[in-house]
Amino acid sequence: MTDRLLMGPGPSNPYPDAVAAFGRPMLGHMDPEFIGIMDETMDRLRQVFRTTNPLTLPVSGTGSAGMEACFVNLVECGDTVIVGANGVFGDRMCEVARRCGAEVVRIEEEWGRALDPQRLLDAQAQHPHARLVAVVHAETSTGVRNEVAPLRALQDTDTLFVLDTVTSLAGIPLEVDGWGVDAVYSGTQKCLSVAPGLSPVSFSPRAVERITSRTVPVQSWYLDLGLIANYVAGASRVYHHTAPVSMVYSLHAALGVVLEEGLENVWARHQRVGDLLQSQLPELGFTLLAEEGHRLPDLTTAWIPEGLDDAGVRRTLLTEYGIEVAGGLGAFAGKAWRIGCMGHTARERSVVALMGALREILGA
């Protein structure tokens, strides 16, 4: 099998150090040496999340497991949950909250446009007893970056602030403590450039207090952070489940790559490469979809040129050039592409390869 240039919405091409880490000798998940690696991984996650939260860890599972971990631990049946919904993953949070038994207040925006954070704050003012406000920072289905820093004002209320950073962590500026985020989750397969399989999460002391003061047990035993915390951070390291040892090795290595490059430099690289792609796509008839001023550099959505064979061109890109891009979701299916420049893939050479291939295909 030939190597692919992964320019879809994830996974991205992994950092070489993250691949090499899978070759490390296996250790038991209770081995003191592995516990030390886990501790270093959690410390590195704090640096990348820009937080000092003690409860910061990689959940065993993909980003969706991190999302469920946030909701099942913080929400009880009958709670009110306010969710910003301007894409697939905002809708997914609504569904997870509903399954937790919450009364969901949806604050909707047209796909391709950013949420107005004031509308979320106004909704909280109308529902002052809401358990949490949840929003997606970087909406993978549309390429929109939502402005979330103003939601820090929720710190002056009893409502928690939950943030999806699956496509933003290590890709665009993120300040968990600076923005007053109470619970945050991400995934390893995007801008962290690790294989899918872990979901970094972090919980503020305010969120931890909410977990410890629950009146009923968390509905998921596997994702019960009260139990998981005793394993990853407890003084006695009480067994909970078998951690995916090699995945933790790989995440540890990738975080080291990011921190060695410098987080601000990584953000700048993603912006530079995203700007390059977005400046060249219109030359081939593509039209940028996301609202100007709120476009993600690491995940670009674009309307395809009229008459272009969506599936056919993407198939040629994959089979003849080894380049993967993704089609649109929902109403955008067959009409738009999603092109990722994330993590190790966020290099100028990736854009050069894609644009060269497209010019050959469209020219032919």
| Residues 292 and 242 both lie in one domain | no
| Residues 166 and 266 both lie in one domain | no
| Residues 52 and 63 both lie in one domain | yes
CATH number at residue 269: 3.90.1150.10
How does strand 55-60 pair with strand 198-203?
antiparallel
Tokens of 258: 């990011």
| Residues 222 and 335 both lie in one domain | no
| Residues 104 and 147 both lie in one domain | yes
The DSSP 8-state label assigned to residue 252 in this structure reads: H
| Residues 217 and 333 both lie in one domain | no
Q: How many CB atoms lie within 10 A of CB 2?
A: 4
Domain holding 299, by residue range, is 5-10+262-363
| Residues 139 and 272 both lie in one domain | no
Q: Is the pTM of this model over 0.85?
A: yes
Non-local (6+) Cβ contacts of 356 within 8 A are: none
| Residues 313 and 206 both lie in one domain | no
Please write down the HEC assignment for all residues of 264-300. HHHHHHHHHHHHHHHHHHHHHCCEECCCCCCECCCEE
Strands across the sheet containing 287-288: 287-288, 299-303, 336-340, 326-327
What is residue 2's predicted lDDT score, i.e. its pLDDT? Answer: 72
What is residue 239's predicted lDDT score, i.e. its pLDDT? Answer: 87
Low-confidence spans in the chain with pLDDT less than 50: none
Count of structural domains within the chain: 2
Q: Angle at the Cα of 230 (from 229 to 233), degrees rounded to 5?
A: 65
φ and ψ at residue 171, rounded to 5 degrees: -120, -40
| Residues 176 and 297 both lie in one domain | no
What is residue 1's predicted lDDT score, i.e. its pLDDT? Answer: 62
φ and ψ at residue 279, rounded to 5 degrees: -80, -25
Pick the last residue of a domain from 259, 286, 307. Answer: 259
Q: Count of H helices and E strands in the chain? A: 11, 15
Pick the last residue of a domain from 259, 275, 294. Answer: 259
φ and ψ at residue 113, rounded to 5 degrees: -115, 150
CA distance 327 to 311: 8
| Residues 200 and 223 both lie in one domain | yes
According to DSSP, the residues that pair with 303 across neighbouring strands are 287, 336
What is residue 236's predicted lDDT score, i.e. its pLDDT? Answer: 77
CATH number at residue 88: 3.40.640.10
According to DSSP, the residues that pair with 192 across neighbouring strands are none
The DSSP 8-state label assigned to residue 200 in this structure reads: E
| Residues 156 and 266 both lie in one domain | no
| Residues 225 and 268 both lie in one domain | no
CA distance 40 to 87: 35
How does strand 183-185 pair with strand 160-164?
parallel
